[in-house]
Amino acid sequence: MKVRLFASSFRGSHSRLTRTITQQKIRALVSAHRDRDKQKINFRRLWMTRINAAIRERVVSYSYSKLIHNLYRRRLLLNRKILAQIAISNRNCFDMISNEIRKEVDCKEYTGII
């Protein structure tokens, strides 16, 4: 009974025949499991793209990888999701964060203090 209830939204014989229902149920659950993992990858890629676009819009020679590297060097705990939200919703705050990180790293590199 539960199997037929699960398959009630399927079309044609996929919702009527027992063997086909079980096959489609397995296929649906496999796809759901796979796509949950894929969704995490896609969101991370989206956040990285948004951060990179926001950085390159302001500074030509600066990139996403340099920003993340400098964040780790300064031990700032901002993940990619939060950075992407800041880059979209509050551009001035994101500019201040990226400029401060860039200035400090540039000063250390010129003075030789690392």
Q: What is the pLDDT of residues 55-107, one digit of tens each?
A: 988 876 788 888 888 888 888 888 999 999 999 999 999 988 888 887 766 66
What pTM, to 2 d.p., does this model score?
0.72
CATH number of domain containing 19: 1.10.1900.20
What is the per-residue pLDDT for 35?
A: 96
Count of structural domains, the chain = 1
Question: How would DSSP label each residue in 9-47?
Answer: GS-GGGGT-HHHHHHHHHHHHHHHHHHHHHHHHHHHHHH
What is the per-residue pLDDT for 110?
A: 53
What is the per-residue pLDDT for 107?
A: 62
Q: What is the pLDDT of residues 35-68, one digit of tens each?
A: 999 999 999 999 999 999 999 888 767 888 888 8
Structural domain span for residue 88: 1-111
Q: Centre a 10 Å sphere on the Cβ of residue 71 and count the other Cβ atoms it contains.
A: 18
What is the per-residue pLDDT for 76?
A: 83
